Every structure is written in C-alpha cells, then in structure tokens.
Copies of this chain bind each other. A is one copy, B any other.
Amino acid sequence: MTDRQFSATAANSGNSADGFRVQLGGNKPLRLDSEAELGPFAMAYQTYGTLNQDKSNAILVCHALTGDQFILGPHPVSGRSGWWEHMVGPGKTLDTARYYVICANVLGGCMGTVGPQDINPQTGASYGLDFPVITIKDMVEAQAMLLDYLEIDQLFSVIGGSMGGMQVLQWAVSYPERCFTAVPIAAAARHSAQNIAFHEVGRQAIMADPEWSEGGYLVGDTFPVRGLAVARMAGHITYLSEAALHRKFGRELQDRAEVSYGFDADFQVESYLRHQGISFVERFDANSYLYITRAMDYFDLAAEHGGVLANAFQDVETRFCIISITSDWLYPTSESREVVRALNAVAANVSFVEIVSDKGHDAFLLDEPTMFDTLGGFLNGAAKLRGLDLT
C-alpha cells in the first residue's frame, strides 16, 4: 500500500493539514454487514497536528452525513471553511498543537473514500446502485483498518456529532480497548421513526428525479440536481430549531418590500433554503446521500444485543463524555439520556452535559463556548490520566 497526496489544496492551506488516500483491504477484504465484500478499496483522510512518539495522542474525528474529512478549510471543492474550525486547530478544544487529529471520509462517501460513484472493478463502470449498502458499523470497520494501517493501536479519543456520534458509539462497542475516551455529540443509539421518515422523504425526492436514472446517472452523464436539492432542503430544516429559523429569518422578505403574489422566493427563509439546496448539489453525490442516510436509518446499537442497550457496553473501560443540545429536535436530549442510562447500568465512566442553545441540532458545528469548555475539561482530565502531558 502506498500513500499519495490526495489534496494539494488542503495540504497547502497553512492549516498544516496532510491529505492522503490509501488502498485498504487488499489482502483481506472488508466483510460488510450485508455480507458483501469490499476490497481493495480507497479511503481518503486528512490529519492535523503531529503524532507523538508512543502514538498516544491520536483523536479520530467522525464526520456527519454531509460532512467530510476536511475539518479545516479551505474545502477543495467549495473553497469554504472546514466544518469544525470552531472546535479543531492550534489552541482550540481539539488542540492540534497537542493532539494528532485524523478524519476520514466515510465509506459510501464522495470525497475520496470508495462510494457509489466509483468504478466497480467487476463491470468497469460506476457502481451506482450496485454499490453494497453499508452500515455505521461498516464505516467503523473501515476506519479501524485505517488505524491498523497507521499502526495506531489506541485512540486517545473518538469524537463526532450527529452521524459522527453514531460512529463514536459504535467504536466504543466494537473496539472499546482502542478508545481511551469517546465523545458522541448530538447523537443517538438508534435512528428514530421520525428520523427515518425525514430521510425517506429525501431519498424519494432524489429517486423521483428522472435524471437520477435509477442510480445510473453517471453513466449517462446526467445528475439529479433538483431531487438532491429538495432532499437537502428537507434535511436542512431538521438541523435548525424553530427558534433559530425565527431569529434568523422570521417572516422577512428577500430583496422586496411587498410579497410578489407569486412563487418566487419572497421570504428570506425560502431564498436561504433554495441556496442550501443548490450549493449542496455542487459538492455532494446523490447516490452517496442515499447510501449514507440508509446507513443511519439502519443504526440500532441495542438490536444486536437482545434489544438491551446496556448489554452493548458490558465491561467497557472507555471514558465517555456525552453531549446533547437543548433545542435539538432531531436527536433530542432524551436519546442521549438513553445512552447515559445504559452506560450507568454497566457502571461505565460517563459524564453527560446538555448544552443550552436554541440553535438546534447544528449547534454542535457552531461557536458554543459551553460545549468547548465541557469537552476541553473532559479531555484535559483524560490527557493527565493517559500521561499525555508528560510526552
């Protein structure tokens, strides 16, 4: 296996990021939950900071549904800031002067890791819907293969919000010995009926677009622009709170003093949503959206343990810091409490903090000082315990 520089743009951004793309599973393919096998497959990742000598300062950051490995910007496609610049960087909570931060594009993604847009070696054409359906556990297995490749036995921490938090929980269940600490933020141990419902709307919007061509749009050189934009719009509403939408937009009109009595984007909130839809299409693959939402829907950590979540965490020694957000209605605090209760039931080491914010689910991406203080304090304590201050 050989590394190759994946993104010169990111590497030269001044953020000291290194971008790589590796081939994994060449000797032994990854056996997926669906029983399909994948390998060799490409995995793209970025690293920030420096791995210390005994490889004890590595933090794996897991990204959310529409995120990617570019925690810090500029993003190679959009040119915009990275998605977690508030959290990660020199002197930040995930201090890259201290920690070695790794973030890999998830399995099924569209930023360098193998996904439905890639070439199916068996056909020589883009996978499309021939790509195997993947799960959160499969994503974690692929990340574990990456850690093996990097020869990192144990992560100081595995951290992520939303779908990233699901991966964190799966990590602590699949590889407790490899996670010194685990920080799931704004997440849940299973996807709720309402969450599945919203995802299904997004998938149906994509599949309703004739340009989707039963998933084969790349062969025909088309793209379900409108369907994917509608999916993004529906999803985006769920990431914000009603209060945040009201404060940001209320009923303010867009570039006009009066309503138009028509179907233009009269209201700022309409204009904003349309923009969200259009700009998303430029950086995301429609089939990846199908596959990744499906992986989230399938996530149910208790299911493999007789329906009892606590059983998933038996004998776990990982230290948990669980964070929820008051106004998050997609992954409400009650879902985090379920995880806390399960961890308490097996006498695990767990801190739980609910961050007061009216910004909704997406608050985990924003400048939330209480979240940074909470997580910073937790990591400092754990770093002492791990002897990280001495290295």
Residues of chain A having any CB pair with chain B under 8 Å: 33-34, 36, 129, 132-133, 190-194, 196-198, 200-201, 203-205, 207-210, 226-227, 229-230, 233-234, 237, 242, 245-246, 248-251, 259, 261-263, 265-267, 269-270, 273-274, 277, 290, 294, 297-298, 300, 329, 332
Contacts and interface: CB of A to CB of B under 8 A. Distances in A.
A389 B300 CA distance: 59
Contact of A263 (B129, B192, B208, B209): B129
Nearest to A297: B267
Contacts of A242: 192-194, 329, 332
Nearest to A303: B251
Contacts of A262: 133
Q: Is the interface of A mostly helix, strand, loop or mixed?
A: helix
B205 A205 contact: yes
Contact of A200 (B33, B205, B273): B273
A322 to B, nearest CB: 20
Given A230-B204, A230-B208, A263-B294, A270 B197 contact: yes
Nearest to A252: B193
A194 B230 contact: no
Given A129-B263, A237-B201, A261-B34, A193 B269 contact: yes
A158 to B, nearest CB: 25
Given A193-B249, A263-B294, 12 more contacts: A192-B242, A193-B246, A193-B248, A194-B245, A194-B246, A197-B237, A200-B270, A201-B230, A201-B237, A208-B208, A210-B210, A259-B298
A132 B273 CA distance: 25
A290 to B, nearest CB: 6
A192 B300 contact: no
Given A230-B201, A259-B298, A251 B196 contact: yes
